[in-house]
Structure 1
Amino acid sequence: MVVLSGRAVGRATLARQMLVERADVSAVEAVGRLAGMQGQEAKHPYVGLWSRVDGFAEEDLDRAVADREIVRATLFRGTLHLVTAEDYLRFRTTLAPVLEAGLRMLKERAEGMEPAKVVAAAERILAKEPLTFTEVRDALQGEFPEVNERALGFCTRMLVPLVVYPTGVRWGWPANARFTPAEDWIGKKLHQKEAQGELVIRYLQAFGPATPADFQTWSGLSKAKPVFDSLDLERFTDEDGKTLYDVPDAPRPDPGTTVPVRFLPEFDNLLLAHAKRQRIIADEHRPAVFTKNLRIKATYTVDGLVAGLWTAAKKRDVATLTLTPFGRLLKKDLAALEREGTALLGFLEPTAKTYEVVTGG
């Protein structure tokens, strides 16, 4: 079996992530290629697309959301993701076991709750109008006064196919957004047939080469190896002797391929899609990025690996991007980060009059 070096594996994934070269594609095609984007907070997929799509503009994603071609919904790992409407319809049933298993987190708070009855009530309530989850919980509490209100809301979030209702605010959705039934919003029915094999292919096209454990980490599904073994996939070995699976004829650039600096938003899926993440971040840097309160900080890459953190802020008419490097930066890399960072500030803060990129401690 062909052995792929860590650098070769990293370059292959970066190419599929459109981070070796920005792609000339629509927002819908980009989100589809990525098999969805972590959408914990509304702003971050916009930044992720800006770093991946040539000429991406904020209104490109706004338009796709308004046209109901892209939706924001609870999906992979039971978290909010931005996905194409077609992918949501195709894979919601496949991922239902992940969402159903999430109810176990409720433990004693689920006492007295009958999920089927809660789902039926929630569907009836939400069919009338889009509601925030505070409003959903309040309405359900009136029907199930003996059940924990948080449990009622969580059951609805996990078991009822919903999408986040967009508004005219910047980045598409307010912090306390409303939810609405997915099938009503998209205008089509969910696919009822499970399609885990298809989902594995889509995962590898976006994040491969990879292991079944990597797919499980990304999707939340379990026992994936038999599915991998049933598919017509190529097999490689990594430097530790583990078998890596990949779709035939997928891009696997030369390990020496030059990779430009790139800025990744908070919660970027590239940092969440593998059980072992050395292809994108060294183990010693992970504590600085993955916080104890489950946030994943915004990062930048140099030569294809996470090399530091970034934050952006605007004060009066000045927009500032602050870099926090994990080590010493070469002059050429710092210059590249300053160029790319200034362009990013222009995207984030278009009304600013001055843009500054500074290096913090």
Structure 2
Amino acid sequence: MTTLSHRALNRALMDRQFLLARTDRTPLEVIGRLVALQAQEPNWAYVGLWSRIDGFTQPLLTALLEDRRVVRSGLLRSTQHLAAADDFRRLRPLLQTVLDRTAASPHFTRNSTGLDPASLVSDALGLLAGGTLSRKELARRLAERHPGRDGRILAGQAELSTPLVHGAATGAWGSWGNRSAVSVTPADAWLGRPMAVTASAAGARESAKELIRRYLAAFGPAGVKDAQAWCGLTRLGEVVAEMRGELRRYRDPDGRELFDLADAELPDPGTPAPVRLLPAFDNVLLGHADRTRVISDEDRKHVMPGQARVRPTFLVDGRVHGTWSLDAGALRLTPLRPLADPDRAALEQEAERLLPFVGGAAVNWSS
């Protein structure tokens, strides 16, 4: 069994994430290839596509949201993602157990003691009546129906427990940090089609296999724990075991078993990787349990200082080399270690290219 170096794994990831070279594929095709695009803060998803697609502009994604071909909702790891509408219809039912697990956490259950989860969903859907409400209004009405309980937490629990899609304006460019303006609509009403239904355990198993194939196409080669960390599902080892005949096997530098699609090509580890600026919560940093192919454990402490934080980063030679931020029109670059002069120049040039996209006025450096 071939052992792949960290550099070989890095170049495979960069290639499959369109970070070795920008692609001329459409935003819909790229979102589909990546399975789903992290979108806690709507603007960051736009930056992620800018870093991957040649000539990408904001209206290209906004139009997909307005046309309901891309939707924003809770998905992988119970967090907000953008996904192609057809993918969302198939994936959300498969991942519902992950969201249910989050909805059953103490943060929610302390507020809903004695309230049947199915009744809460029924109440929320009844209040929505197939239409749209802001999260704030849904919370207010649920609180009226259940006095003494926090309506915001009830609304969040309902959103986890049944597929609710965010309105197009919620995910559009310019809605940075305005979470109170999020609107929700039952997914089947928003999409005009019912969610996919898995009729049997065998059907669910086949759906899980397809999810693993798509994960490997975007993040492979990878191990079972990597896939589980990415999507939140458990017991995927059993699924992968059934797929062994169709998958190629490798080892990582620490001897862990990795899997990949049989026909997936690996780029030459010597392939140059250009500098790239990645948004907060970028897929590249969240796609594996072992993230050393793209970021060291020491650097990870600076980039991911808390469970719910992943700072914007920049890549040099395919690996995280620092963070960046926007502050009063300035795009500030903060290296984690000294940069060689050519890398510093290339990074500054890439940051200058990003400035008009994010509405910045200048590039600054932090020591």
Superposition TM-score tier, normalisation by shorter sequence = over 0.9
Structure 1 residues 168, 45: CA separation in 2 closer, same or farther (over 3 Å shift)?
Answer: closer
1:62-121 Cα shifts (integer Å, max 9, x gaps): 111111111100111111101111110011110010011112213433311111111111
More helix by share: 2
**Structure 2 match to 1:191:** 196
Distance 1:97 1:293 in 2: 21
Matched with 1:120 is 122
1:360 equivalent to 2:334? Answer no
| SS of residue in 2 equivalent to 1:93 | helix
User: Quick one: which amino acid aligns to residue 211 of structure 2?
Assistant: L
User: Contact 2:42/2:172 (CA < 8 Å) preserved in 1?
Assistant: no
Quote the Cα distance in structure 2 between the aligned partners of 1:305 and 1:18.
14
Cα deviations by residue, 1:159-210 (Å, 9 ceiling, x for unpaired): 1211111229951655321111111111111111231111111111111111
Q: Distance in 2 between matches of 1:140 and 1:158?
A: 15
Correspondent of 1:178 among 174, 177, 183? 183
Contact 2:111 2:154 in 1 (8 A): no
The corresponding residue for 1:27 is 27
Change (3 A) 1:167 1:150: closer
SS of alignment partner, residue 321 of structure 2: strand
Whether the aligned pair in 1 keeps the contact of 2:316 and 2:343 (CA below 8 Å) is yes
1:203 maps to amino acid: Y
CA displacement at 1:153 relative to structure 2: 1.6
**TM, length-normalised to structure 1:** 0.94
Measured against aligned partners, the alpha-carbon deviations of 1:296-322 in whole angstroms (never above 9, x if no partner) come to 1000000000000111234xxxx4221
Aligned length: 353
1:110–1:327 distance in 2 versus 1, CA, 3 Å:
same
2:293 matches 1:279: yes
State whether structure 2 residue 309 is matched by structure 1 residue 295: yes
Question: Paired residue for 2:79?
Answer: 79
Q: Give 2:19's aligned amino acid.
A: L
CA contact (8 A) 2:16 2:219 kept: yes
Structure 2 equivalent of residue 212 of structure 1: 224
Are the equivalent residues in 2 in contact too, given 1:209–1:245 (CA < 8 A)?
yes
Q: Which residue of 1 aligns with 2:90?
A: 90
Aligned partners of 2:151 and 2:91: how far apart in 1?
29
Tell whether 2:339 aligns with 1:339. Answer: no
Shift in Å, 1:148: 4.3
**TM-score (norm. length: structure 2):** 0.92
Q: Which residue of 2 aligns with 1:133?
A: 135
Q: Which moved more, 1:139-148 or 1:32-41?
A: 139-148
Cα deviation digits, residues 240-262 of structure 1 (max 9, x gap):
11100011222310111100000
CA distance in 1, matches of 2:169, 2:291: 36
> Take 1:307 and 1:142, find their aligned partners in 2: how far apart are those partners?
50
Question: Percent of aligned positions with the same letter in both sequences?
Answer: 40
CA contact (8 A) 1:4 1:237 kept: yes
How many angstroms does 1:291 deviate by? 1.9
Secondary structure, in 3 states, of the residue corresponding to 1:92? helix
Unaligned runs of 5+ in 1: none
**Equivalent position amino acid for 1:179 in 2:** V
Unaligned runs of 5+ in 2: 199-203
Asked if 1 retains the 8 angstrom alpha-carbon contact of 2:42 and 2:171, the reply is no
Aligned to 1:55: 55
In structure 2, the residue matched to 1:43 is: 43
CA distance in structure 1 between the aligned counterparts of 2:68 and 2:109, rounded to whole angstroms: 36
Point out the more displaced range, 135-144 or 94-103: 135-144
- Over 6 Å off, 4+ runs: none
Contact 1:112–1:146 under 8 Å retained in 2: no
TM-superposition CA deviations, 1:142-171 (whole Å, max 9, x none): 222254434422321111211111229951
Q: Does 1:328 align with 2:335?
A: no
Q: Partners in 2 of 1:250 and 1:20 — Cα distance? A: 16
- Contact 1:111/1:147 (8 A) holds in 2: no
Q: Distance in 2 between matches of 1:169 and 1:279?
A: 30
